[in-house]
Each structure stands twice: as C-alpha cells, then as structure tokens.
Amino acid sequence: MTKVKAGRAFGISHVGARNNNEDNFLIMKLPDAYLLAVADGLGGHNAGEVASRMAVETLREVFSGEYQKGMSDDEVRELLKKTHRLAHNRIKENAVGEREGMGTTLVSALVRGGKAIIANTGDSRAYLIRDGRIVERTKDHSLVQEMVDRGEITPEEAKRHPLKNIITKALGIDFGVDTYEWELGQGDVLLLSSDGLHDYVDEERIVEIASTGKTAEEIATKLVGEALPVTKDNVTVVVLVMEK
C-alpha cells in the first residue's frame, strides 16, 4: 500500500484483490496550486502498471517544467490536455513486445484558489462532494455509460452490467480527453478514484464517508477500508478537502 500526504491532500493506493497493483496516483504541490491524478493501467504482463506510471510521470514532468504561477484557467486546461496527449503518445510508443496493447485511464485535476480544472480519459473519476451530496462528477468513457446516454439501461443497471469494465477511451489505445471546471467552496471534498472504489462501493456510502470525515487522510483511509472487503480490483483514492 502506498500513501502520500501533502498539505490538504492525501492519497492511498492498495493492491486490493489483485496480485499486482496497476494503479498509480500523483499529489504534487505547485507554487499556487495542487496537482492531483489517478491512473488505472490496462494490459497483461504488468504492462498496465508501466502505462499508469508513465501517465503520472508525464504529468509530473510537464507541470514541473511548464506550469507557471498566474497561468490563466484556459492555459491550465490546455496544459492538462497537452499532457494527456503526450502521455498517450509515449505509452503507445512503448507498447511493444509483452507490453503490446497496454494503456491506462487518467483523471487529473489542478486545484487553485476556489476552482478545480479537471481532465479525464477513461473510467477513473473525479467527484465534487458538498453538503452531503455529489455536486459534480466526471463522465466515464465506457460502453455502459454510452448505453445509459442512449437510454438503453439505467445508471443503476450500469453498476451491475457484465460489460461495465469495457472502456472506450484510454491513453495508449484510443485517445480522448474531456475537461471540466468546477467552482469549489469551503468544506468541499474533491475525490479522485479508480474503479476499484466506485464500481464496488455505492455512491451514497462514498458521499457519507466523504461528508463525515474531518481530514483528507481520514476520508481516504475510510474509503479504501470500505472497498477492500468487496472490491475485485486495485483501489486508489486521492482526496483534497477545502479549508473551512
């Protein structure tokens, strides 16, 4: 199990029910912001672990070298999109031999002042939780999400659907990235997670834990503890709590 704490943010990654942990995460303090990310790797022969690590390392490298204090929100959004594309290209270039076909999800967030700028590829998620409810959530790039969008199944049916693990976008495989801008207020909880959490723990329970925990560390620890008895996957959670 890997744990990282930085200021108001805390992250945990646990192997869960698997033999190998193919998740990776990032918590990085910038001069005027936090950079957060969760990546969930895909592919055999431990290739998923390589892909997810490449994704978060690319994020760290680009923002270490190119992010500047005072950048506009538009510039931040474009830098996040650029980083997702660069990670996609690097993973694809390295997907040879036993690593052929490797890929990864990546949800990344830059939190600055009272705003979070999010970029998402795949079915890892970002949630904004406020006053005991989910205010914002990224939309999965997945087959079942497309079925929900077309009205073929309900969101409740999607949770138990046999094809729920099929994603339609992944870095290294089929590129796509969505961006979001969320306003943050005092006491808000920003949660990033791999599907080892949100595919196995009901959102109502996720909200309850996020709303009653006093610190990012307490919330992240309780969420992983809730997932471990039921998950069939790796579990990764990154939490940032806005100061009250």
Contact status, residue 44 vs residue 97, Cβ threshold 8 Å: no
For residues 7 and 28, give the distance between their C-alpha atoms in angstroms, rounded to a whole number: 10
- Per the prediction, the chain carries an average pLDDT of 95
Tell me which CATH code domain 2-139+168-241 carries.
3.60.40.10
The model's pTM is 0.96
What are 13-33's pLDDT values in tens digits?
999 989 999 999 999 999 999
Mean pLDDT, consecutive 10-residue stretches, the chain (244 aa), reads 92 94 97 97 86 98 96 98 98 93 97 97 98 96 94 87 91 97 97 95 96 96 97 96 86
What are 138-150's pLDDT values in tens digits?
999 999 999 999 9
Residue with token string 């994603």: 167
Half-sphere exposure for 76 (CA within 13 Å, toward CB) = 24
Across 113-232, the runs of DSSP E, i.e. the strands, are 115-121, 125-130, 133-137, 178-183, 189-193
